[in-house]
Structure 1
Amino acid sequence: MTMPEPYGVGNSRITALAPQNDMQLIAAPDCVTAERAAIALALCGRPVRPVAGPQTGLRLASPFRKELVIQEPLAILTLLDELCPGTLFSANPVERAGQHKLTGLALLADQRLAEVIAARNPRDLDIAIHLLRDGVLLIEQCFRQRSPASRLDVRDAVAAPLIWRMMMLDRHCQAHLCLGLERVTANTARILQLNGVADVLGKAAEARFLDHHLPHDAAIGLPADQRIDWSPALGPAGRPQHLNDRTRRLTVVPASPTSSPKPADPAGDDPLGAVTEKLRLIRLTSQQRRYPGRATPRLPSRPAVIRLLADTIGALYPRHYGPEGMDAQAAELFITQTLQSVRQRLADQLELEWLLQPDADPAECRQRAQATAARFLAGLPQIRDLHDTDINAAFQGDPSAKSLDEIILCFPGIAAILRHRLAHSLYGFGAPMLARIMAGHSHSLSGIDIHPGARIGPACFIDHGTGVVIGETAVLGRNVRIYQQVTLGAKRFESDGEGGLVKGQPRHPLVGDDVVIYAGATILGRIEIGKGATIGGGVWLTEPVPPGAVVTQARASLNTSG
C-alpha cells in the first residue's frame, strides 16, 4: 500500500488527505473564523458541513498523528493551501504578501463591525461606521486591482463573511454600509453560490445574526426619525453637505494605511485625553460630511505649492531669484532643470486638488494634471513679458526708483503682481485651491491681498501697497496705478433665498485704462471707473465714474475761531 505524500506545516509534517471524512470543521456559534474556513474548504473542492462546538477549529486525522487541531485563522488557511497547493495563496511572493495584507485588514474590519453593532446611540454609531468603512474601503481597493473574472482565492474567503454581514445590515436596517463597494460585493455574491457555503452563510445564519447580534436597542436598527440629530452641536463642521441622493446617508472615514490609534479615555485623569477625544470625534464627523461615500482624500501641500511658486519665479528671473553668482550659460541649465522639476511637482499637486471632487476619477485627474502643468509652463513666457510692463510702469511712476533691478528685488507691489499673475494662470486652469495658496503666501509677504480670480491688465503698479485689497471679479485695465489701503471690493452679496450666498457673481469694480487710485480709497460694487479717471485719497465710492473725472472727498476747512 502506498502512503500519501506528506506536506509540511511549520515545523510539523502532515499528510495530504484524500478522504473527506478525515477532515472535520468544528464551528462555534456564528464564528467568522469558522465561516472563512468553510469557504476556504469549498474553494479547495472539499466542502464540509460544520459541526457545532464550543470553540472553532479544523480537526485533521493523519497516519502520522492521531489528531491535529488548528484554531488560529491564518494557520487554518495556510494549512488548507498546503493540502491543496496553489488553491488559496499565490506562489508569487508579491501577490502573496498582498493576500496576507488583506487578511489583516479584514480581521481589523471585523472589530469595527462589532463596534457598529454594539453602538447604542447615533453618535457612537456614526463614528463606528467611519472606522468600519476606513478599513473596508482599503479592502475594496485591493479588489479593484484584480480582474472581475479572476479566480476566487483566499482574499474572497476572508472578505466574504464580513461583507455578507454588512449586506445583511444594509438589507434589514438600510445602513448603506456597502454603498460604493461594487467589486468586493460582486465577489461575495460569487462566493455565496459555491457548494457548501449555504451551510454557513444561509438563511439560518442570517436569522441568527439578526436575532442574536442586533439587539432591539441597537442604534443601527432605529428608524431614521428616532435617531438624535446631534450635528448642530458641532456647528458648521457638522452641517451635512449632501452632494446627491446616492450618498445622502453614507458615512465614511479618512483612509489610512495603518489602523487608527486607540482613542484616549475621555473619562480618565488626563484632561488632554478628553480634549483629544472630542477633537477626534469632531474631525471624523467633519470629514464624513465633506467626503460622503468615499475615503478622505489627501490635500495639496501648502509648503510644496509655496516652493513651486518660488522655483517658478526663480526660473523667470534667475539672476534675481536663482542661485547666487550664475553666469549666462549656467542660467540656461538652471532654468531647464527647474522647469522640469516644477512640471512634475505641479502635476502632483494639481492631481491632489482635483481628487477632492466628489466624482473624481484617479486616472482622469492624473492625465488632466500632467496636461495642465505643461500648459502652465508654456504660458510662462507670456507672464514674463506681461510682468516686465509692470516693472517699467513702476520705474516710470515712482521717482524714488533708481533702477529696474531695484524694483524687481525690493518693491512689494511688484512682487505681489508677479505672484498674482502666476496664481491667476492656475486659477484659469481650474485649480483655485493652489491659486489661493499662492495668493495667501503673497499676501503674507507683501501685505497686498489680490484674489487670484481678479483680471489685471499690463503695466499695473501698486505703490507701497500695504492694505490693498482686490476682489475676485475685479477687472483692471492697462496702466492702472494704485496706492496703499485701496479696496476694490463688493458692496453686497446676493442670497439664494435660503440664507446661502450666490457664488461667482460679478460684484467688484471695473477699472478702466490709465486710472489712478490714491491711498485709502474704497470702491465697492460692480461699478465702472472710466478711462483716465482719478480717485482721490480716502474716497468712499459706490457710483460709476465717467472717463477723465476726478473724484475727491469733501475739502477740509480750517476754523480758527474760538
Structure 2
Amino acid sequence: MKDLTSKIYEAHKHCPKGPSTKLIHTFFEDLLGFMFPEYANRPLNDLHQVRDQYEVLKRSLFEILENNPQLHRFSVNYITDRFFDELNEVYDTIHEDVEAMFCGDPAARSKTEIIRSYPGFLAIAAYRIAHMLHSEGVSLIPRMLTEIAHTRTGIDIHPGAKIGRRFCIDHGTGVVIGETTVIGNDVKVYQGVTLGALSVDKADADAKRHPTIEDQVVIYAGATILGGNTTIGTRSIIGGNVWLTRSIPADSKIYYQSKMYNANADTTDLYILKSGSI
C-alpha cells in the first residue's frame, strides 16, 4: 500500500492542467466591477480609463485561454473577440434582469440595492457571463464562474442552461437550475426551486434531462420540476413545495392542499386549475 505522500504526489503529477480558482475569481470580480460600478474597487470617472480597463480585461481573458488550450477548440483571438463583442448585449440583458427584480419585489428600494446586495443579481450575472463562454465551446471555466456565485449565494445555475430575458430570482437560496433547462422570458422563481433531471445516468449526459419553463411563469418556494420532457406552459403559476414530473398547459395554477385538516394529516392532493376552474 502506498503511503500518503506517494498518493498525493501521484495526484499532483496527474492532475489535469487548468486555471487556478483564484485567477478565475479575479477575472470575474474585475469584469463585474467594470460593468457595474457598485462592484468596482474605484469608479472609472474618465472614458479613457474605461477603455483602458476594457483592454486589460480582454488581455486577461486572452491569457487565460492561451494558457489553457485544452479547454477550448477555437482560436484564442476568436473566442476573446466574440466574448467582448457579445458583452454589450449581455450588459443590457443583465440590466433588464435588474429591472425585473426591482419591479417584482416591493421590498426593493432601488436598483443599486439590488446590484449591491441581492443574491439573485450576482447569480444571474455570473450565469450570463459564463453562458457566453460555454456557448463558444469553452469547458471548465464557465463552471468555475458560476460556482463563484453558487458559493456566495447558494444559487446553482449551470452555464449550459438557456435563460430568456428579464429573469428574476427572489431570495434565491437553494435554487438549482440544471444544464439542459430552457427558461423563457419574464420568468420568476423563489428560493428552494429545483429544475432538475429525472435520471442521473451517465448514458443520458447528452440528452435533454431538465424541464422547459415557458414565458411569464412564476414558481414559488420549494417547488421541484423534473424531466427533459416536462414543459410548464406560458403564464402558469406553480405553488410552493409542488413536485412535478409531467407537463401542464398554459394558464394553469398548480398547488398541493391537505385532504384532511387536522394535526395528524400528512396526505395531500394535487390540484390543477386552468382558466379559473378545477
Q: Is the 8 A contact 1:299 1:353 kept in 2?
A: yes
Shift of 1:353: 3.4
Q: Is the 8 A contact 2:71 2:138 kept in 1?
A: no
Change (3 A) 1:281 1:413: closer
Shift of 1:501: 2.6
Amino acid at match of 2:58: R
For 1:556 and 1:391, the matched residues in 2 are separated by 40
Q: Is the 8 A contact 1:312 1:338 kept in 2?
A: no
SS at match of 1:324: coil
Q: Which residue matches 1:535?
A: 238
Indicate the percent of aligned positions where both proteins have the same amino acid. 37
Q: Which residue matches 1:453?
A: 160
Shift of 1:401: 0.5
Amino acid at match of 1:480: V
Q: Which residue matches 1:215?
A: none
Q: Which residue matches 1:306?
A: 25
Matched, 1:399 2:106: yes
Shift of 1:491: 0.6
Shift of 1:560: 7.3
For 2:29 and 2:95, the matched residues in 1 are separated by 18
For 1:326 and 1:347, the matched residues in 2 are separated by 22
Shift of 1:354: 2.7
Q: Which residue matches 1:213?
A: none
For 1:334 and 1:560, the matched residues in 2 are separated by 64
Scaled by the length of structure 1, the TM-score of the pair is 0.45
Matched, 1:511 2:240: no
Q: Is the 8 A contact 1:474 1:509 kept in 2?
A: yes
Shift of 1:352: 3.4
Q: Which residue matches 1:427?
A: 134
Q: Is the 8 A contact 1:297 1:355 kept in 2?
A: no
For 1:350 and 1:325, the matched residues in 2 are separated by 28
Shift of 1:409: 1.1
Q: Which residue matches 1:83?
A: none
Scaled by the length of structure 2, the TM-score of the pair is 0.88
Amino acid at match of 1:400: A
For 2:263 and 2:24, the matched residues in 1 are separated by 59
Q: Is the 8 A contact 1:315 1:334 kept in 2?
A: no
Matched, 1:523 2:225: yes
Shift of 1:402: 0.7
Q: Which residue matches 2:55?
A: 340
Change (3 A) 1:384 1:560: closer
Shift of 1:479: 0.5
Change (3 A) 1:478 1:356: closer
SS at match of 1:377: helix
Q: 2:94 aligns with which of 384, 387, 396?
A: 387
For 2:263 and 2:31, the matched residues in 1 are separated by 59
Instruction: Give 5+ residue unaligned stretches, structure 1.
Output: 1-232, 234-265, 267-273, 288-295, 495-499
Shift of 1:414: 1.2
Matched, 1:551 2:251: no
Query: What are the within-5 Å matches in structure 2 for residues 5-404 of structure 1?
Result: 274-281=3-10, 283-284=12-13, 287=14, 298-317=17-36, 319-324=37-42, 326-327=44-45, 330=46, 332-355=47-70, 368-404=75-111
Instruction: Give 5+ residue unaligned stretches, structure 2.
Output: 265-278
Amino acid at match of 2:136: F
Shift of 1:541: 0.4
Shift of 1:298: 3.5
For 1:447 and 1:513, the matched residues in 2 are separated by 25
Q: Which residue matches 2:271?
A: none
SS at match of 1:554: strand
Change (3 A) 1:533 1:335: same
SS at match of 1:277: helix
SS at match of 1:552: strand
Could you give the per-residue CA deviations for residues 245-264 of structure 1, whole angstroms, max 9, x where no partner exists? xxxxxxxxxxxxxxxxxxxx
Q: Which residue matches 2:272?
A: none
How many residue pairs get matched?
263
Q: 1:486 aligns with which of 193, 200, 206?
A: 193
Could you give the per-residue CA deviations for residues 45-76 of structure 1, whole angstroms, max 9, x where no partner exists? xxxxxxxxxxxxxxxxxxxxxxxxxxxxxxxx
Could you give the per-residue CA deviations for residues 353-388 of structure 1, whole angstroms, max 9, x where no partner exists? 33368xx8xxxx6xx112211110111110011111
Shift of 1:514: 0.4
Change (3 A) 1:312 1:356: closer
Q: Is the 8 A contact 2:134 2:159 kept in 1?
A: yes
Amino acid at match of 2:30: D
Q: Is the 8 A contact 2:19 2:68 kept in 1?
A: yes
For 1:454 and 1:477, the matched residues in 2 are separated by 11
Q: Is the 8 A contact 2:44 2:50 kept in 1?
A: no
Judging by fraction of residues, say which structure has more strand. 2
Structure with max Cα Rg: 1
SS at match of 2:225: strand
For 2:129 and 2:167, the matched residues in 1 are separated by 15
Shift of 1:283: 4.8
**Higher RCO (CA < 8 A, seq sep 6+):** 2
Shift of 1:300: 1.6
Change (3 A) 1:554 1:381: same
